[in-house]
A and B are shown apart, each in its own frame.
Chain A
Amino acid sequence: MKEVLLQDDAIISPLGFSTQENIEAVKAGRSGLLFHNNRRFSLGGFYAGIIDPELLATEFLKIGNPTKYTKLEQMMLLSIYKVLTSNSKIDLSTTGLIISTTKGNIDLLKGGHSFSEDRFTLNSLAKVIQEFFPFKSQPILISNACISGGLALIMAKRFIQAGKFNSAIVVAGDLISDFVISGFQSFQALSKAPCKPFSKNRDGISLGEAAAAVYVSTEIDSKNNISIIGDSTSNDANHISGPSRNGDGLFLSIQNSLKEASISAKNIDHISSHGTATIFNDEMEAIAFNRSGLKNAAVNSYKGLYGHTLGASALLETIITKHSLLNNELYKSHNFDDLGVSVPLKIIQKTEKREMTYALKTASGFGGSNMALVLKKIENV
């Protein structure tokens, strides 16, 4: 089976407009979650990771006219552009394009904007992205709730191994919109303070927005040598919004991905978890990790730094995990205090150096969806 490698990447987030800036912020424990005024909230506002639209437009001006593109398009286009400029070998006539988002430009649905009426559709978003560069092949577009970005990466790997294309750009992005805020508010799922994954006094999620892109191919590169060696998605078949109490779907995803990777749970050095900081999600994950024999792996969640970036989260967090493996650094799980799940977990409490080979990335989302992928650092390249 062909080895599929994570190559160049880019992250556009409140913590910076490049992977490097983002990794520096993660290392320094600098969170993008700030208080934003919003009349929907009895406290006068909420904590979220929101990208400053003016800073974004200024950055976007280097590659295009920001008035012609929505905020999300600017974020996603910039992330791809940065990947393309960092690798001159990428051939747009043969490289596949896989796009993922939950709600895309849904903020345009209410009208009152200068874009065309159907610009809110996911197909329009895909078209804008394809035509900007332009990519020759038809983009593949997926929308699978909060595992979208991870599933897009899994698809890139599977399509490459099946011979559909030899390389692909995978991009994921989502915005914080009134649409999404009002919904999560009705779910009483939003935290009053910046979210605290796996902590005793956690009380819900913080929302975030981001775009991330990565180039995936079979070429062995001397500086990037992280391979996707196992992947799986599984449905809980339990409830459309509540996580499974026994972590069934996530457990199955982890089992399947370890099996494909031909390694056992004890080989996993590090888990980059979903860790949304809702009571039920974190508990479910802790149970699934324990059932999988992973209670000794070093676990973190990046939600305390970024918030929940929805469809972008699993891709963004996989990219950071890739750099964590390459740098041999475990990054602290931000906002963690006392363990607040019913089974033991080794939460990373301090950023530290650690020799690592294997990492597991997991994500779960509405619709009962779960995904797991195993990353391996290839030595001696």
Chain B
Amino acid sequence: MSDLRTELKKSIIEQLNLEELSIEEIDNDDSLFGDGLGLDSIDALELIVLLEKDYGIKLTDPYQGKEIFISINKMAEYIETHRTK
């Protein structure tokens, strides 16, 4: 289970070019947007791409992302129940 979370942190750092951040610096409950990692609206769209590419999850409503991309924990929970690959 924690493997998925580590994997997610790794691919988020890679996909979103967060070069100055390491896996250890991201807490599972850190908020991804706002005061946490400080991601923005383009990052949110990239996370949608990441869900599709890596886990076969297609979000068609951009607002769905708001409830999923809260923290690494929330994302991992969503992926565990919805993944197709």
Contact = CB atoms under 8 A, between A and B. Distances in A.
A and B touch in the complex (CB under 8 A): yes
Interface of A: 42, 186-188, 239-242
Contacts of B41: 239, 241-242
A186 B40 contact: no
B60 to A, nearest CB: 7
Interface in B34-74: 40-42, 45, 48-49, 60, 62
B40 A239 contact: yes
B62 A186 contact: no
A188 B45 contact: yes
Contacts of A186: 45, 49
B40 A187 contact: no
B62 A188 contact: yes
A99 to B, nearest CB: 29
A188 B48 contact: yes
Contacts of B60: 42
A242 B49 contact: no
Interface of B: 40-42, 45, 48-49, 60, 62
Contacts of A188: 45, 48, 62
Given A188-B48, A240-B42, A242-B40, 6 more contacts: A42-B60, A186-B49, A188-B45, A239-B40, A239-B41, A241-B42
Contacts of A42: 60
Contacts of A239: 40-41
Binding site secondary structure of chain A: loop
A168 to B, nearest CB: 37
Nearest to B60: A42
A185 to B, nearest CB: 11
Contacts of A187: 45
Of A188, A239, A241, the most chain B CB neighbours within 10 A belong to A188
Nearest to B61: A188
A358 to B, nearest CB: 35
Contacts of A240: 42
Nearest to A186: B45
B38 to A, nearest CB: 13
A234 B41 CA distance: 22
14 contacts: A42-B60, A186-B45, A186-B49, A187-B45, A188-B45, A188-B48, A188-B62, A239-B40, A239-B41, A240-B42, A241-B41, A241-B42, A242-B40, A242-B41
A188 B62 CA distance: 7
A186 B50 CA distance: 12
Contacts of A241: 41-42
Nearest to A241: B42
Nearest to A240: B42
Q: 3 smallest A-B Cβ distances: which pairs? A: A188-B62, A242-B41, A241-B42
Nearest to B62: A188
A240 B40 CA distance: 11
Nearest to B59: A188
A239 to B, nearest CB: 7
A204 B49 CA distance: 19
A241 B40 CA distance: 10
A240 B43 CA distance: 12
A188 B45 CA distance: 8
B40 to A, nearest CB: 7
A253 to B, nearest CB: 22
B10 to A, nearest CB: 23
Nearest to B44: A188
A247 to B, nearest CB: 17
